[in-house]
Structure 1
């Protein structure tokens, strides 16, 4: 029994000594992004005392296990915090807060995808991480511009405008999924 524990301790020490900077920074980015999403989503009244401790631990989970269910779990907790703030505490929906929260959710998701590919001891060219983040920034910028344009179109159309934009958004989502599926099958 003692030999098994000592072997695991040596294995853990060996793994910790081989950690490289890039995967560690990506995982730190996951933690910061998820925690910032929590801070933006939840009402200020909730972010004190014991709940902030639980949210901090929850933000650590996807950083340590990006391949597991924790990224989805923290995204659902973030959305739950947003719903609690808007419905439970009556916080008005502000466009800047909604766009920032969507950006943080996407950034946490894409960083988890990157971390899932990188072993802890990977030697990574910093340019690769930079290109990954620039591509993510381009997606976020395009999404924000499209979202603002669609909201402006919805405001000019009244109640029918919101229905039109909702249907258009659903068609865009289905079309994107169909295009991606077609591209994957074509390989």
Structure 2
């Protein structure tokens, strides 16, 4: 019983010491996870359970170092697959890009919050640089994604093969570049 009381006192102490910026970042995790879940799942599934998505989206905000960010990302992807295959929702490019952006924002904010103590005094410039880099990645991904989708539409079945090969080439090049960056240190 004393372990439970100790945990309650620790949680109370943490709530009184939390600073604004880590709290705002956790709110960003919650919002991006919630947006991803709501956009991915079909309306028919979410209609009956209004509180399930917010509770699930709250988990990575509360525990960014634990398994919750992965669980929410997998649930989001599972909801997308369910909507496409189970409910026959057509693939809309805007929804695909929005779900991908929400997943990436949730992931990158969890990575930042995982290394920040809840009571850290953080320079807002650090967070601004982090978010600007995330926006640059999202914009680059959206532009490349739209170009690849347009390329696939031009060639029919042949275009899909070209896009698949182009995606694999980009993935290999990114892997090589990241490996080079690691060895460069």
Q: Structure 2 length normalisation: TM-score?
A: 0.94
Aligned-pair distance for 1:134?
A: 1.2
Aligned-pair distance for 1:53?
A: 2.4
Q: Paired residue for 1:120, among 115, 118, 121?
A: 118
- Equivalenced residues, count: 185
Q: Structure 1 length normalisation: TM-score?
A: 0.93
Q: Match of 2:12?
A: 13
Q: Deviations over 1:32-60 (max 9, x none)?
A: 1101111101111111233x323222111
Aligned-pair distance for 1:8?
A: 4.0
> Distance between the aligned counterparts of 2:148 and 2:139, measured in 1?
14
> Distance between the aligned counterparts of 1:137 and 1:122, measured in 2?
24
> Distance between the aligned counterparts of 1:131 and 1:100, measured in 2?
22
> Distance between the aligned counterparts of 1:122 and 1:176, measured in 2?
33
Q: Paired residue for 1:170, among 168, 171, 175?
A: 168
The answer to whether the 8 Å contact 2:39/2:99 transfers is yes
Corresponding residue SS for 2:45: coil
Q: Deviations over 1:129-152 (max 9, x none)?
A: 122111111110111011111111
Aligned-pair distance for 1:155?
A: 1.3
> Distance between the aligned counterparts of 1:29 and 1:99, measured in 2?
18
Structure 1 runs not aligned, ≥5 long: none
> Distance between the aligned counterparts of 1:39 and 1:121, measured in 2?
31
Aligned-pair distance for 1:186?
A: 2.1
The answer to whether the 8 Å contact 2:25/2:113 transfers is yes
> Distance between the aligned counterparts of 1:8 and 1:35, measured in 2?
28
For residues 1-150 of structure 1, the aligned pairs below 5 Å read: 1=1, 5-50=4-49, 52-150=50-148
Root-mean-square deviation (CA, aligned residues, Å) is 1.5
The answer to whether the 8 Å contact 2:38/2:53 transfers is no
Corresponding residue SS for 2:95: helix
Aligned-pair distance for 1:7?
A: 4.2
Gap change, CA 1:149 and 1:8, over 3 Å in 2:
closer
